[in-house]
Amino acid sequence: MPGPSATGTPGPGAKPRGTMAEVSSSPGGRPPPGGTVPAGRASTRDSVGPTVAPADGASRAVVPLRVRAPGPDETEYRLSDVDEWGRSEHMRAVARALYDPVYSRWFRAEWDGLEKVPETGGALLVANHAGAIPSDAPVIMHGIEKELGRPVYGLADYFFRTIPVLGTLWSRTGGVAANPDNAYRLLHDQEQLALVFPEGTKGSSKSFTERYQLRRFGRGGFVEIAMRAGVPVLPIAVVGSEEAMPTLLRFSRLSRLLGLPYVPLTANMVALGPLGIVVPFPAKFKLKVLDPVGFDVPPDQERYPRSKVMEEAERIRTRLQDAVYEMLAERRSVWFG
Amino acid sequence: MSGPAGGRRVLVTGADTFWGGRVVQALEADPQFEVILGLGTGTPTVSLERAEFVRADQAYSILSRIVRATGVDTIVHTFMVVDSTAVKPRALHEINVIGTMNLLAAAGAPGSTVRQVVVKSSTMVYGSTEHDPNTFGEDTPRSRPPANRMERSLVEAEQLVHDFAEDNPQVDVGLLRFANVLGTEIVTPISANLSRPLCPCIFGFDPLVQFVEEDDVVRALEHVVRTGVRGTYNVAGAGRLPWSEVAAMCGTRLVPLPPVTTGLAASPLQRLGAVDLPPELAALLRYGRGVDTRRLVGTGFGYRYTSAGAVHSFVRALRMRRGVGRRPRSYVYEHDVEQFFRHSPSVISTSEA
Taking only the tens place, the pLDDT of each residue in B271-303 is: 888 899 999 999 999 999 999 999 999 999 999
pLDDT in the model for residue B327: 65
As a whole number of angstroms, the distance between CA B16 and CA B47 comes to 10
What's the ipTM?
0.84
From the CA of A331, how many Å to the nearest CA of chain B? 41
Which chain A residues are Cβ-neighbours of B118 within 8 angstroms? Answer: none
Q: Which residues contact A152 (CB under 8 A, 6 or more apart)?
A: A125, A140, A141, A144, A145, A174, A192, A193, A194, A195
What residues of chain A, 176 to 205, have a C-beta less than 8 Å from chain B?
A: 176-177, 179-182, 185
Question: Does the distance separating the beta carbons of A25 and B204 come in below 8 Å?
Answer: no
How confident is the model over B315-319, as a mean pLDDT?
A: 92
Name the residue facing B232 among A5, A20, A181 (closest C-beta).
Answer: A5
Among residues B291, B299, B340, B297, the alpha carbon closest in space to that of B121 is found at: B291
Q: Between residues B69 and A21, which one has the greater pLDDT?
A: B69
Which chain A residues are Cβ-neighbours of B133 within 8 angstroms? Answer: 177, 179-182, 185
pLDDT in the model for residue A34: 38
Taking only the tens place, the pLDDT of each residue in A130-164 is: 999 899 999 999 999 999 999 999 999 888 899 99
How confident is the model over A250-263, as a mean pLDDT?
A: 89
Taking only the tens place, the pLDDT of each residue in A227-244 is: 999 999 999 999 999 999
pLDDT in the model for residue A49: 36
Question: Does the distance separating the beta carbons of A165 and B204 come in below 8 Å?
Answer: yes
Burial B71-80 (b: 16+ CB within 10 A, else e): ebbbbbbbbb
Q: Which candidate in B208, B294, B303, B319 is best for mutational testing of the A interface (most A CBs within 10 A)? A: B294
Which chain A residues are Cβ-neighbours of B137 within 8 angstroms? Answer: 15-16, 181
Asked if A241 contacts A134 with a C-beta cutoff of 8 angstroms, the reply is yes
Asked if A124 contacts A234 with a C-beta cutoff of 8 angstroms, the reply is yes
pLDDT in the model for residue A5: 41
Taking only the tens place, the pLDDT of each residue in B96-141 is: 999 999 999 999 988 899 999 999 999 999 999 999 999 999 999 9
Which chain B residues are Cβ-neighbours of A20 within 8 angstroms? Answer: 294, 297-298
From the CA of A161, how many Å to the nearest CA of chain B? 6
pLDDT at B347 over 80: no
Residue B206 — very low, low, confident or very high, per pLDDT cuts 50/70/90?
Answer: very high
Asked if B107 contacts B70 with a C-beta cutoff of 8 angstroms, the reply is no
DSSP assignments along B149-203, one per residue: HHHHHHHHHHHHHHHHHHH-TTSEEEEEEE-EEESSS---HHHHHHHSSEEEEET
pLDDT in the model for residue B328: 61
How confident is the model over A256-284, as a mean pLDDT?
A: 92
Mean of all residue pLDDT scores within chain B? 90
Among residues B249, B308, B327, B257, the alpha carbon closest in space to that of B285 is found at: B257
As a whole number of angstroms, the distance between CA B259 and CA B256 comes to 9
Residue B320 — very low, low, confident or very high, per pLDDT cuts 50/70/90?
Answer: confident
How confident is the model over B71-86, as a mean pLDDT?
A: 91
